[in-house]
Amino acid sequence: MLAQKAKSVQGYDPAKAKANYEKALVSWKAADAKWEKEKKGKRPRRPKFQQHPALSPNMPSAIYNGMIAPIVGYSSRGAIWYQGESNARGEGSNAYGELLECLIQDWRKRWGSNLSFYYVQIANFEKWSDKQGWVNVQDEMRRLLDDSNSKTGHIGMATINDIGHPTNIHPGNKKDVGQRLARWAFNQDYGMKDVVVSGPLYKSYAVKGSAIEITFEHATGLKSRDAKPLGSFEIAGADNQWKPAEAKIAGSKIVVSNKQVSNPTQARYAWKSNPTDANLVNGEGLPTSCFITK
């Protein structure tokens, strides 16, 4: 994604943009004058000038000088991050992990390589047009946590797909969010190694005949949050036809199956923008992040 952004900046031609705008403006004036006389249909919109891509608020680092540069140099033990909702659209949703990783690397260059970085996975939210994009960002965050901690450590993620609001993109429950972030700091920065940092996080899977066995990290005491059968698990074969899966707890693992899928190859969990039936938690009552086994 960053390469694409750089290409758009390098390929911008201000003279061409000006010529295109002036041409479109002439056409619009004629169409608008016609509309004024006839008053039929929707009034044509005035064209917008194509600004330089580097001036777009959606350009990575667009607000760096205003928001971050002034505080570089002040001492900091760590940072917390709760963003990502506006990235959950289109193809860009699959690049969120790349962007966030670059941000972490940049901040560690400025504050030191030992800067702790703890972030919040975006919450469950029903009222969103690109529901797949929403899940993509959630899963990008999960994958970044797995990849980054295997390399550098001191990166943590708070899963909150159980305390969001279906119609409010900024859910009001910030207490649980803060407490879940604090778990990472207590464990990683203050030496409280007995503090469980997260709910179950997908680690690996194995096909066992007509079932799939899923292994998790932070999985001590796996249980259903509401004492109901485990929900939000799905299973599919090579045809990618997803079916609801029956899920059973086997120690620190989950075994999923569906009689209609005799040769499963993949499984997923909470693969919705608002997975109301996602109820797998660990002994601390912390929720399981969405995941897909690929």
**DSSP characters over 215-246:** EEES-TT-EETTSSPP-SEEEE-TT---EE-E
Residue 150: its pLDDT value, please? 58
For residue range 89-98, what is the model confidence (pLDDT) as tens digits? 988 899 999 9
Residue 268: its pLDDT value, please? 99
Class of domain 77-188: alpha beta
pTM of the model: 0.88
Residue 190: its pLDDT value, please? 96
Residue 151: its pLDDT value, please? 66
3-class secondary-structure state, position 203: strand
Domain boundaries, the chain: 77-188, 201-292
Splitting the chain (294 residues) into consecutive groups of 10 residues, what average pLDDT does each group show? 84 96 98 96 96 87 93 95 94 92 95 95 95 97 82 89 96 97 97 98 98 98 98 98 98 98 98 98 98 94
Residue 149: its pLDDT value, please? 64
Residue 58: its pLDDT value, please? 81
Q: What is the CA radius of gyration of the chain?
A: 24
Distances from the Cα of 163 to the Cα of 106, 175, 217, 274, 279, angstroms: 31, 10, 21, 10, 12
Number of residues that make up the chain:
294
- Among 146, 147, 148, 175, smallest CA distance to 160 is for 175
For residue range 190-206, what is the model confidence (pLDDT) as tens digits? 999 999 999 999 999 99
Residue 148: its pLDDT value, please? 66
What H or E segment, with its residue span, contains residue 158?
A: strand 155-158
For residue range 120-173, what is the model confidence (pLDDT) as tens digits? 999 999 999 999 999 999 999 999 998 766 566 799 999 999 999 999 999 999
